[in-house]
Structure 1
Amino acid sequence: MKNQFLLCGGIGWCLEILWTGLHSLQKGESTLCGTSSIWMFPIYGLAFVIGPISQHLTRLPFFLRGTLYTAGIYFIEYTSGTLLRHFHACPWDYSNSRCHYKGLIRLDYAPLWFCTGLFYEKVLNIGTNRESF
């Protein structure tokens, strides 16, 4: 479990840095500098729960599994963001985005979280006999 937490935290960090680096192109920055926060590592690390949850969802279609993972990711994002915001430590604020809820989640990121959840499922099930997708 500890190794999976560290794996998920590291993957999440790398994905976030890649995502923010690509978004720097929109600002005209060709340096592709990506950013993240120390707070994000344990938040992404919580994705390790997808491993045991996926064991119970193997017979469900991938679309339903991805939707459930998306809902879980939104729950963690909203809950952790609310807690961090209480301590003035939330590293993200989506208030200027069109499809946000209380500045803590972006509904237009649903396809991204859908794919990310299924990606974590695949990574966490490598080396097992469980099939995914």
Structure 2
Amino acid sequence: MKILKRFLIYGIIGLLLEVVYTGLASLLKGDFSMHGFTFLVMIPIYGLSVFLEPLHTLVRPYHWSIRGLTYLSIIWMIEYSSGFIFAEVLGSSPWHYSDILNINGYITLRMAPEWFLAGLGFEFLHDFLDTLPFKL
């Protein structure tokens, strides 16, 4: 039950962060409505973060830069794999990167800083969930 609860928490928080991120990106492009968006199919993808909790515990002793690069690599593997699976099963992926740094449209190296920081943010969220007086 704990895994399911955390799966949903990570999924929903990932969705919210994506909406905020895309909304701020819209603002930087001059869209003062700050239109943010995401895809509901992202809930299970972000929810998979629950399975990274043991990794967080394992890499905790390492420098933050090593941990961030580790998370970045895993996030890219998940993003690429899920994009590929969506394209194969549904005929297209919900996202398609088209910048010069994209790899088959499923990931983009341009997002390295964001995913690096997201991985480290995941540590904070994991630690926070572990400190709650009720079990999540």
The structural deviation recorded for 1:66 is 0.8
If each structure's helix is expressed as a fraction of its own residues, which one has the higher value? 2
The 2-side partners of 1:7 and 1:89 are apart by 27
The structural deviation recorded for 1:77 is 0.1
Written as runs of structure 1 = structure 2, the 5 A alignment for 1:1-133 is 1-86=3-88, 87-95=90-98, 97-126=99-128, 127-128=130-131
- 5+ residue gaps, structure 1: 129-133
TM-score (norm 2): 0.87
Structure scoring higher RCO (CA < 8 A, sep ≥ 6) equals 1
Q: 1:101 is matched by which residue type in structure 2?
A: I
The sequence identity of aligned pairs, in percent, is: 36
The 2-side partners of 1:26 and 1:94 are apart by 18
TM-score (norm 1): 0.89
Paired positions, count: 127
- 5+ residue gaps, structure 2: 132-136
Q: Is the 8 A contact 1:21 1:34 kept in 2?
A: yes
The 1-side partners of 2:28 and 2:18 are apart by 16
